[in-house]
Structure 1
Amino acid sequence: MTGSTPRLAVIINCFNYAEYVERAIRSVLAQGRDDCELIVVDDGSTDASWDVIGRTGVTAHRTENGGQRRACIFGLDRTTAPFVLFLDADDELAPGALDVIIPRLDPSVAKLQFCLSRIDRDGNRLGSAVPEPDQIRMTSDLSERVRRTGVYVSPPTSGNVFRRDLCELLRDADYDDAVDGIIVLAAPFFGEVVSLPQELGLYRVHDRNISGVGRAIDGARIEQHMQRFRNLIGHLNRVMPAGSARPQLDAEQTFFYLEKKSVLASIDRRMDRFRQLPMLIRVISGDYFSAKRKLALSLFHILIAFLPVGISRRLIEFRYRSEQRTPIALAKALIGNGSDVRPRSL
């Protein structure tokens, strides 16, 4: 795809996405950029993905199945581009996306992020973008936001472009199979984070998303997220740029960790769901959320702590399963069908 030294590499990693991967590939080819390099890695697919990739005529690589992170590192080793976009095989770039993205890349940029249009399995639009444009514009002092909350507004994997040196952190992230962990969290500490409000990609929501969007809420998965977050913060503390006077981050004092703990306790009533609630509310009341967001988050966590477990679970699923976030879905979450108000085994 490139006839000159590439400024950007788009790496598509695919595992059993035969029904989507061709659309992902062609969405990159259609950009028509000579300064962009396309690298496709099939991560040992057992469906027809490799045959579908072959039909596109692009140079592709096939590896033994090792997970998303390993496949992306394999692709990274096959490019010298200074910036990398990891495009999930079930997502797509919007027409003209790279014409907007590439001119904004320079050595001071650690990460460029943009909004994604949410679509369903068949490509139909699903409500608002992720993140919403007003949310992605809130980029002041992101490193301090990470320190206090453990998170900042960031799109799914396909909505990010990373500077190459940041991608190198993936090599030591053996605790994580995903690619959008340490490099997302570390970006504000390594340079500028450029946020574009335009919808420059398509994010497909279905029950096989690596991010877990669309899946049912599960206690064991929440515990895995909490352990992963502790590992991420430990990794970030180890790689903090030299000369940083900032103290080490404490994973268990952040909003992200406390919120996951609140959700877990609300669906597993063997835990004390009230113990960490005051601390969580104090963190929410800090300077890093809007007044509307503070009210919504506080109300949500108070409700799931006090309501019967069946209703609490439905409220949690309403919040985290974004394709169902409509007024009708909220009413159903609160009312239900009357059959699961009593606690259910997990």
Structure 2
Amino acid sequence: MTSSTFRLAVIVNCYNYAEYVERAIGSVLAQRRDDCEVIVVDDGSTDASWEVIRQTGVRAFRIENGGQRRACIYGLDQTTAPFVLFLDADDELLPGALDAIIPHLQPEVAKVQFCLGRVDGGGQHLGSMVPHPELFCRVGDLRERVRRTGVYVSPPTSGNVFRRDLCELLRDADYDNAVDGIIILAAPFFGEIVSLPEELGLYRVHDRNLSGVGRGIDADIIRQHMQRFRNCIAHLNRVMPRDSKQQPVDIDTTYFYLEKKLILASVVGQVGRYRQLPKLLNVIIGDYFPPARKLILSGFHILIAILPFSLSRHLIEVRYRPEKRTGAALARALTGTNR
């Protein structure tokens, strides 16, 4: 088979996931697609990951540790297919996933996204999917949603297939270590988003995710995500195709940033934090979610803005602590995108 016949490249990126990576690779090989190229990039693992990877017989590379984004760029340079799926080494594809995905890989499509079933470290199902399938049905104009909120409903890294030109944006994202930032945010501005409300993969929740499970909300982490978001929006505004409908995103009017400011103010005990409510509530009311959802979100933010700081912080912890959070997944959890 010549490289020109490949329609999709699956790049498995691995760092110290010896106990999971064989399952991830096996889940791709089991798809039995001749039009899919598969490679694995070991990002300088210090456990037995490389030995496990070599035993699978797949095309694999071991590089010096440089983080997820650099490992995925390295993998991108080893492939030729016009669409790319970055599969985390602790996640998996389900049987028939690529059969469902590949027919949608058309030139006008910037991204195909699909649901992932949540499993624990031992592979036991946790009874829910990310995102919830119903959220895919209320998409609206995703470009306008990004302008208003700074986010849209999207699965974690392993639930996305990106057109190759979109992946090229990663090369200039030196401010980020993850891959599910700029290319997810920019996708609606570069083409169509195809959302498949089917469970086509598994998203593993365990205590070795980058930001951990059960970690309390920390002011420094919130500040880091606010800065990451600011850098990402600046990047988006530089590369966004310009036409009469695609105007720059104003970060200071987005739901993501306004909510972070309110949460941070509550966590650090900032006096007068309630003054931030009008702008935030205006964005929530203008969102496309049903009235009941708007009411819940509005009520939550009003409470954390007016309650004593100890109670406010407790509410924030209760809402956000249970989720698996890695890279932009934490950003989605903090914004309630996958609610």
For normalisation by structure 2, the TM-score amounts to: 0.91
Aligned to 2:198: 198
- Cα pair 2:138 2:289 within 8 Å, conserved: no
Pair 1:237-2:237 in alignment = yes
CA shift for structure 1 position 305:
2.3
Letter of the structure 2 residue corresponding to residue 293 of structure 1:
R
Aligned to 1:24: 24
**Shift in alpha-carbon separation, 1:251–1:277, aligned structure 2, 3 A:** same
CA shift for structure 1 position 282:
1.3
Q: In 2, distance between residues paired with 1:229 and 1:192?
A: 23
User: What SS is found at the alignment partner of 2:176?
Assistant: coil
CA shift for structure 1 position 243:
3.2
Aligned to 1:275: 275
Aligned to 1:180: 180
- Cα pair 1:4 1:34 within 8 Å, conserved: no
Aligned to 1:288: 288
Q: In 1, distance between residues paired with 2:249 and 2:4?
A: 42
CA shift for structure 1 position 213:
5.9
Aligned to 2:262: 262
CA shift for structure 1 position 309:
3.5
- Please show how residues 136-147 of structure 1 align to structure 2 within 5 Å: 136-147=136-147
* Same amino acid, percent of matched pairs: 73
Aligned to 2:5: 5
- Cα pair 1:109 1:194 within 8 Å, conserved: yes
Point out 4+ residue stretches in structure 1 off by more than 6 angstroms.
1-4
For normalisation by structure 1, the TM-score amounts to: 0.89
**Shift in alpha-carbon separation, 1:313–1:18, aligned structure 2, 3 A:** farther
- Cα pair 1:118 1:203 within 8 Å, conserved: yes
CA shift for structure 1 position 313:
2.9
Q: In 2, distance between residues paired with 1:129 and 1:175?
A: 30
Q: In 2, distance between residues paired with 1:115 and 1:2?
A: 31
Highest RCO, 1 vs 2 (Cα 8 Å, sep ≥ 6): 2
Q: In 2, distance between residues paired with 1:125 and 1:305?
A: 36
Q: In 2, distance between residues paired with 1:141 and 1:10?
A: 29
Letter of the structure 1 residue corresponding to residue 258 of structure 2:
L
CA shift for structure 1 position 215:
3.5
Q: Once the two structures are superposed, what CA deviation does each residue of 1:141-186 show, in whole Å capped at 9, x if it has no partner?
A: 1001101111100000000000000000111111111101111011
Aligned to 2:251: 251
CA RMSD of aligned residues (A): 1.9
- Cα pair 2:28 2:93 within 8 Å, conserved: yes
**Shift in alpha-carbon separation, 1:236–1:177, aligned structure 2, 3 A:** same
Q: In 2, distance between residues paired with 1:2 and 1:153?
A: 36
CA shift for structure 1 position 320:
2.2
- Cα pair 2:7 2:102 within 8 Å, conserved: yes
Q: In 1, distance between residues paired with 2:157 and 2:80?
A: 20
